[in-house]
Structure 1
Amino acid sequence: MLVKLVAEQGGDGLDLAGAIAISAPLDLAASADALDRGFARLYQQHLLDSLRRKIAAKMRVTPLPIELTPEQLKRLDSLWAYDNQVTAPLHGFTSANDYYRRASAGHLLKEIELPTLILHAADDPFMPANLIERLPAPSDAVRLEIADQGGHVGFVEARQGRLNSWLARRVARQLQDWMTIPHPLKRLASRS
């Protein structure tokens, strides 16, 4: 959502020095497909269990504008099925395909004007391994870093015999870099 906002709003439209996206599903359809294969199906099942519980609880309290019984909800066995029957109709999309196409940010990477750091791991089970190759080249404002390992928002490293968060260190370094860049709002604040 952040990458899509930054791309659509433009660099001048947001009061931000930059944006950082971590393990963002830039292509929702590709991510739904990736989660429906192999070991990643365990993650999909966990996500679906949580989503179904939340919607079932809402369905017990108030009627929802979807044509789905609690029994049918229980049988939704993929993110595609869930998004087609629940997410899309609840949020004004015609189908999961329509939702994935309109809500994905990957095709907008070339439009980004605001400095943006996108961190991914090649072994992220939420995304196909060749995801970045399938997207258009990002604009010069985008720095795309792909770690060999990191899973989905994992990015743990061994340093001095201990496990540490590479992600926290990398994000802190990026924020520090942006703090050294003159920013119009910092200049205005210092004059007052």
Structure 2
Amino acid sequence: MPIIHSAYKAPYFLFSEHLETIIPALFRKNEPIKYQRERIDTPDQDFLDLDWSFKGSDTLIILSHGLEGNSKTQYILGMVFLLNSLGYDTLSWNYRGCSGEINKLHRFYHSGETGDLDFVIEHATRKKNYSKVVLIGFSIGGNITLKYLGEQGTNINPKVICSVNFSVPCHLASGAKKLAGWGSYVYMKRFLNSLEKKVTEKSKIMPEVISAKGFDKIRNFLEFDEMYTAPIHGFKNAFEYWEECSSLYYLKDIRIPTLLVNACNDPFLTPQCFPIKEAEENPQLFLEMPEQGGHVGFIEKKISGIYWSEKRAVEFISDYL
């Protein structure tokens, strides 16, 4: 599918990719969402917390958050608010350990964990007989979603009709390397602080299988994934984990209309995260690359209120509902 031209432009007061990324995350104020929480047991005796917002629709939109986010992250709340105002039911699911309570097992979530997403979709479609389901992913939630769609291919649940994804690190290895640089120190530090709290909490609950010893020496995702993600989730090392879980390699097999929006100035992304060739060769993959937007930013006029990304998502999915 030809590359989509993007008309998005950031407000004048956001004059760098870092401001476009940080200001919404720290200062955006959203209308409160009255979630209804449901806890479901996973096949491996763990649990997932799902946050529903019902409007009586026969269409469900499932939202997947980014690294160390949750259902109350600002970009999730903003998207839910607009979708609810248009009458759609939404389901914002929290990855293992992200709902405010540590999960039962020593394993975490990771950037390529599609089994939980599949389980959530199957549960949601059994719970209520929705006629259509839409998937929206942000950052690693987008990577999980795109990988899932590629894995499913023509076997995708027929109720899943389209997908929209923003700020996706499609190539994990190069993204990890970029975030290890000095220019990304603030982002890396924030991620590691959050992850350290979870590892420390788990180590107190299950010291026989996980330890926080040495975490203070971790400085980047290579070191974290080598120490925790890879061995815990059955990968030989961080590089195998990154290669097997990068959605870039699954895009060719996507068989439902899918929009990927990655800003050219996204401070988290590398050239490998802009899959132009894959989009040109797959008629179901639509790639939009606005010059601005930062990482999950896309403010339109002011810090609070509806963002361009939310209106863009609605515009895309409306063609298939």
Tell me whether the two structures share a fold, i.e. TM-score over 0.5: yes
Cα 1:121–1:93, aligned 2, differ >3 Å: closer, same or farther?
same
- Distance between the aligned counterparts of 2:276 and 2:240, measured in 1? 18
Query: How big is each residue's C-alpha offset from its partner over 1:166-186, in whole Å with a ceiling of 9 and x where there is no partner?
Result: 10110111121111xxxxxxx
In the alignment, structure 1 residue 9 sits paired with structure 2 residue 9: no
Alignment partner, residue 96 of structure 1: 238
- Distance between the aligned counterparts of 2:160 and 2:305, measured in 1? 32
Tell me which amino acid in the other structure corresponds to 2:267: P
> Does the Cα contact within 8 Å between 2:164 and 2:259 map onto a contact in 1?
yes
Tell me which amino acid in the other structure corresponds to 2:197: R
Alignment partner, residue 77 of structure 1: 219
| Cα offset, 1:164, TM superposition | 4.9
Alignment partner, residue 130 of structure 2: none
Alignment partner, residue 256 of structure 2: 114
Q: Name the % identity.
A: 29
Alignment partner, residue 38 of structure 1: 182
| Cα offset, 1:96, TM superposition | 0.6
TM-score of the two chains, using structure 2 as the length reference = 0.51
Of the structure 1 ranges 146-155 and 33-42, higher mean CA displacement relative to structure 2 is found in: 33-42
Alignment partner, residue 185 of structure 1: none
Alignment partner, residue 137 of structure 1: 278
The match for 2:169 among 25, 30, 34 is 25
> Does the Cα contact within 8 Å between 1:107 and 1:136 map onto a contact in 2?
no
| Cα offset, 1:133, TM superposition | 5.3
Query: How big is each residue's C-alpha offset from its partner over 1:65-122, in whole Å with a ceiling of 9 and x where there is no partner?
Result: 45xx533112111111001100111111111101101111112212211110011111
Cα 1:95–1:141, aligned 2, differ >3 Å: closer, same or farther?
same
Unaligned stretches of 5+ residues in structure 2: 1-143
Unaligned stretches of 5+ residues in structure 1: 180-192
Cα 1:87–1:64, aligned 2, differ >3 Å: closer, same or farther?
farther
Cα 1:83–1:53, aligned 2, differ >3 Å: closer, same or farther?
same
Which of the pair is proportionally richer in helix? 1
Cα 1:87–1:169, aligned 2, differ >3 Å: closer, same or farther?
same
Tell me which amino acid in the other structure corresponds to 2:301: A
**Structure whose alpha-carbon radius of gyration is higher:** 1
Tell me which amino acid in the other structure corresponds to 1:137: E
In the alignment, structure 1 residue 178 sits paired with structure 2 residue 317: no
Cα RMSD (Å) of the superposition?
2.0
Alignment partner, residue 298 of structure 2: 155
Tell me which amino acid in the other structure corresponds to 2:227: Q
